[in-house]
Amino acid sequence: MKILSVVGARPNFVKIAPLAKTFSERGFNHVLVHTGQHYDYEMSKVFFSDLDLPEPDRHLGVGSGTHAVQTGKIMAAMEKALLEEAPDITLVVGDVNSTLAAAIASAKLGLPVAHVEAGYRSFDMRMPEEINRVVVDRISHLLFSPTENAVLNLMNEGVKRESIHFVGNIMIEALLTNREKAQKSNILEKIGVKKKRYCVATVHRPHNVESKKNMQIILDAFSQAPLPVVFPVHPRTREAIARYNLDTAGANVYMIKPLGYLDFVRLLSQAACVITDSGGIQEEALVLQVPCVTVRETTERVETIKAGANRLCALDIEAILTCLKNVLENNKEFEIPLFWDEGVSKRIADVLEREEIAIPGYSMI
C-alpha cells in the first residue's frame, strides 16, 4: 500500500514521527510531503532531527500567507504531488492549514483521506483550526479518533460508525517514546531555572497575540506571576510584540527562541505549571502531570479538563494570576485517558492494513 502523508506546521511533525516509524516497520510504501507552512529552523528542521524523522520526499516550499493564500498555494502544490505520486491513500494529521489543504486536494482527486486526530471540537467556529477540523473530518474516509468523546462528536455529526476508529492519542505516543531521551536535555541549566520552580508559557493564537491590548495583558500577567516564567516565543508572537512596541521588561520572564521538541519536553516535564493557548500542550501537560492554565474561552481537549489537569482562563490579569495560584496548589495525580499510550501508531497501521481492500476505489488518477 502506498501512503502519502502530509506535514506542514510544528505539531504535525510530532504526530507523524511515530507513524513514519511504524509504517517503515510494516513495510508500507510511505511518501512524506512537507508543505513548508513552517520553515524556520526552530519551527521545523530541529523537529526532524529530534524526532528521527526521515527527510521529506517532497518539499512544497509554500511558506506564510493569509489563510486563503496559504491554503490555496498548498492545495495547488499538493494536487501536483498527488498526481505524480498516485498514492492509495492520503494521511493528514491535526488541524492546521496544511491538513485542510491536503485533505481537500486529495478528496477532489477521488483519493481517500485518512485523518489522524479526528473528532476534536471546540464548537468555536471563530478558530481557524475548528473550521479545519470540521471540513477535514467531513471529507475523510478513515477517521482516527484520539478519545471516546471525539468519537461521539463525529457520530453526532452523522459520520458512519464504521469509518471511525478509536485508536488513541498519537501526540502522546510521541511524548512517551521520547520522554527518556528528552531528560538528557540541559535546557534548565542553560536558562538558569530550577526543577518545579518555574512556569512555562506559550502563546500564539491570533485572538491573544494579534491585539495590542490582549498581548499586553498576557505579558503583564507573566511579569506578575508567582514564579519565573520561561516563555519560548512563537515567531507570530515575537512579530506582534515588536509591531506593538510592547514593554517586555519583566525580570521574572525569560523570553527565549522557540525550542526544539526534546528541549521543550524536558522544560515542560520539570515545570511547576504551564500557561498556554496551544492544543497539544494541554494534553502533554496532563500526561507529564504538570497542571495547565489555558488562556482560551473554549478547548477541544475536553479530557484534560475532565481529568482536573487543565483550567480555561479568561484574558484578564487577575483571572490569570488566580488560575495560576489555584493550579500551583494542586497535588492531585491526573488520570490518563484510555489509549493515550505507545500503541497508537500500531492501531492505525492495523486499520490501514485491514481496510486496504475496503477503501472505495474511485480514484481519478
Residue number, 233 or 293, with CB nearest to ligand UD1: 233
Is residue 246 packed enough to be buried (19+ CB in 10 Å), middle (13-18) or exposed (0-12)? middle
Residue number, 9 or 274, with CB nearest to ligand UD1: 9
Question: Closest approach of Cβ 279 to ligand UD1, in Å?
Answer: 6
Residue number, 59 or 236, with CB nearest to ligand UD1: 236
Q: Cα separation of 10 and 13, whole Å?
A: 6
Contact residues for ligand UD1 (CB under 6 A)?
A: 9-11, 37-40, 43-44, 64, 70, 96-97, 128-129, 204, 234-236, 239, 278
Question: Closest approach of Cβ 235 to ligand UD1, in Å?
Answer: 3
Question: Closest approach of Cβ 157 to ligand UD1, in Å?
Answer: 21
34 catalytically annotated: no
CA angle 127, 133, 138 (to 5 degrees): 135
Task: Give the 3-state secondary structure of residue 183.
Answer: coil
Identity of the residue numbered 55: E
Residue number, 37 or 185, with CB nearest to ligand UD1: 37
Q: Which of 115, 204, 207, 234 is catalytic?
A: 204
Question: Closest approach of Cβ 40 to ligand UD1, in Å?
Answer: 4
Q: Supply 10's cell numbers.
A: 510544528
Contacts by 289-293 with C-beta closer than 8 Å and gap 24+? Answer: 289/333, 289/334, 291/327, 291/328, 291/330, 292/327, 293/320, 293/323, 293/324, 293/327
Maximal CA-CA distance, the chain: 61
Residues with active-site annotation: 204
